[in-house]
Amino acid sequence: VTCPYSEPKCDANFAMNAKRCRCGRTLRTCDACASGNRAFANFCRACGQKLAAPKSNWTGYRGGARRLGFNPHDCGTGRLARQSTLILNLGNECRALLASDGHLIAVAHNGTIEIADVAAGKSICHFQVQGPVTAQPCIHHGTLYLAAAGQLSAYSLGALTQTQPRVRPAWTVALGGTPIHALTPAGDRLYVTVASSSWREIQVIDNLTRPAPRSVHGAMRTSWLASERSTVAFFSQNDGESMRLHLHDRELVTRDVALQQVPDHPIAFAGGTIFGVFGDERRLDRIDASTGSVDEALFEDTQFFAVSADDEWDRELVVIDSSGVFLTHTAMRDTFGPYDRAVKGSPLIVRNSAVVIGMEDGRVRVYSAAQFPRHEAWLVGGGATAITAIASFENYVVAGNRDGVVEVRELA
Ligand SMILES: [Zn+2]
Ligand SMILES: [Zn+2]
pLDDT tens string 334-379 = 999 999 999 999 999 999 999 999 999 999 999 999 899 999 999 9
The pLDDT of residue 224: 98
CA of 83 from ligand 2 middle (Å) equals 37
Report the separation in Å between the CA atom of 20 and the middle of ligand 1, taken as the mean of its atom positions.
8
What is the dihedral angle through the alpha carbons of 209, 213, 216, 217, rounded to the nearest 10 degrees?
150
Buried/exposed code over 331-362 (b: 16+ C-beta within 10 A; e: otherwise) = eeebebeeebebbbbbbbbbbbbbbbbbbbeb
- For residue 352, the 8-state DSSP code is T
The Å distance, Cα 403 to ligand 1 centre, comes to 37
pLDDT tens column, 105-130? 999 999 999 999 998 999 999 999 99
Q: How far is the CA of 39 from the centre of ligand 1 (A)?
A: 12
Answer yes or no: is pLDDT of 412 > 90. Answer: no
CA of 290 to the centre of ligand 2 (A): 36
Q: Rounded distance, CA 329 to CA 402, Å?
A: 33
Expressed in angstroms and rounded, the spacing between residue 11 Cα and the centre of ligand 1 is 7
User: Whose atoms come closest to the Cα of 12: which ligand?
Assistant: 1
Compute the distance from residue 36 Cα to the ligand 2 centre, in Å: 8
Q: Output the pLDDT for position 190.
A: 98
Residue 7 in this model has a pLDDT that exceeds 80:
yes
pLDDT for 53 equals 86
For ligand 2, the distance from its centroid to the CA atom of residue 30, given in whole angstroms, is 5
Query: If pLDDT is split at 50, 70 and 90, which confidence band does 25 have?
Result: confident
Instruction: Please check whether residue 80 is in contact with residue 378, taking contact to mean a CB–CB distance below 8 angstroms.
Output: yes
- Give the per-residue pLDDT at 328: 92
Q: Ligand 2 center to residue 119 CA distance, Å?
A: 25
Q: Enumerate the β-bridge partners of residue 406.
A: 88, 400
Q: How far is the CA of 213 from the centre of ligand 2 (A)?
A: 34
Q: Which ligand is nearest to the CA of 36?
A: 2
The rounded Å distance from CA 98 to ligand 2 centre is 26
Q: What pLDDT is recorded for position 229?
A: 93
- For residue 28, how far is its CA from the centre of ligand 2 (angstroms)? 10
Distance from the alpha carbon of residue 6 to the mean position of ligand 1, in angstroms: 7
Across the chain, what does the average pLDDT equal? 95
Residue 5 CA to ligand 2 center (angstroms) comes to: 16
Residue 393 alpha carbon to ligand 1 centre in Å: 22
Compute the distance from residue 102 Cα to the ligand 1 centre, in Å: 15
* Residue-level pLDDT at 24: 85
325: left (phi over 0), alpha (psi -120 to 50) or beta: beta
Tell how far the Cα of 34 is from the centroid of ligand 2, in angstroms.
Answer: 6
pLDDT at 77: 75
Q: Mark out the alpha helices in 251-392 (DSSP H runs).
A: none
At residue 57, the pLDDT reads 95
The Å distance, Cα 38 to ligand 1 centre, comes to: 9
Instruction: Tell me, in angstroms, the distance from the centre of ligand 1 to residue 142's CA.
Output: 20
Distance 325 CA to ligand 2 centre (A): 44
Cα-to-chain-centroid distance, residue 387? 16
At 282 the pLDDT is 97
Does residue 398 contact residue 100 with C-beta atoms inside 8 Å?
no
| Cα of 15 from ligand 1 centre, angstroms | 12
Coil/strand/helix, residue 337? coil
